[in-house]
Amino acid sequence: MADSLYRAERTGLLLVDPYNDFLSEGGKLFPMIKEVADDVRLLDNLRDAVAAARKASIRVFFVPHRRWQPGDYDGWDHPNPTQRAVQQRHTFAKGTWGGEWHPDFVPQEGDIVIKEHWAQSGFANTDLDFHLKQQGITHVAVVGLLANTCIESTSRFAMELGYHVTLVRDATAAFTKEMMHAAHQLNGPTFAHEILTTAEWLAALPA
């Protein structure tokens, strides 16, 4: 499995929305994910997943949400509920601490930062598919936030585009345990090729 499924030259780790507003004490959304994040050891698992990917020469792709700026969504015909919430809260505001990378998840040399997504899929209206194809990536492991929105939407889109999709279920979080259950026990099995814990994914990587 380690030699065939997650070959370094064919595998990419998609790190979705690792912003301070999500992952750091004082972040606007951190209190909403804290219970689930603590329960699954989110930060530790994210650190382990990213470190293991780099050690295995697996490329890391940062898949960031749109950083809010004044005027965003003004005059839109039908912004979705999440976009309306961003408009009110100014989540991930550009030029603010909340819109900066969590200090443990800052792009390093060799990482690829994808254009920001406006809604939930890291593929829609971005260059993610282009970069994956240019790097020869066929298998993606998806981690970050939120399990039932951006992780699920990005992963579903990856499957539709023909990628092999692995959900690393304890390297993500959601606002409630029910949302986590829906993401990984109900919805995930309809599109993901593998649903693993961080420990299981690390064990499957090339030595």
Q: Which residues have a Cβ under 8 Å from the Cβ of 98 and sit 6 or more positions away? A: 19, 20, 21, 27, 28, 91, 92
Which pTM value belongs to this model?
0.97
Query: Residue 2: pLDDT above 50?
Result: no
pLDDT of amino acid 131: 98
**pLDDT, average across residues 179-198:** 98
CA dist list (Å): 93 to 23, 33, 138 = 15, 19, 33
Q: Are strands 11-16 and 59-63 parallel, antiparallel or unpaired?
A: parallel
pLDDT of amino acid 207: 80
pLDDT of amino acid 193: 98
Q: Is CATH 3.40.50.850 the right assignment for the domain spanning 8-204? A: yes
Q: Which residues have a Cβ under 8 Å from the Cβ of 162 and sit 6 or more positions away? A: none
CA atoms within 13 A on the CB side of 137: 27
pLDDT of amino acid 174: 98
**pLDDT, average across residues 127-143:** 98
Model pLDDT for residues 48-91, shown as the tens digit of each residue: 999 999 999 999 999 999 999 999 999 999 999 999 999 999 99
Mean pLDDT of the chain: 97
pLDDT of amino acid 1: 39
Query: Residue 3: pLDDT above 70?
Result: no
Model pLDDT for residues 34-58, shown as the tens digit of each residue: 999 999 999 999 999 999 999 999 9
pLDDT of amino acid 4: 63
* Domains in the chain: boundaries: 8-204
- CA nearest neighbour of 164 among 14, 11, 15, 4: 11
Model pLDDT for residues 113-130, shown as the tens digit of each residue: 999 999 999 999 999 999
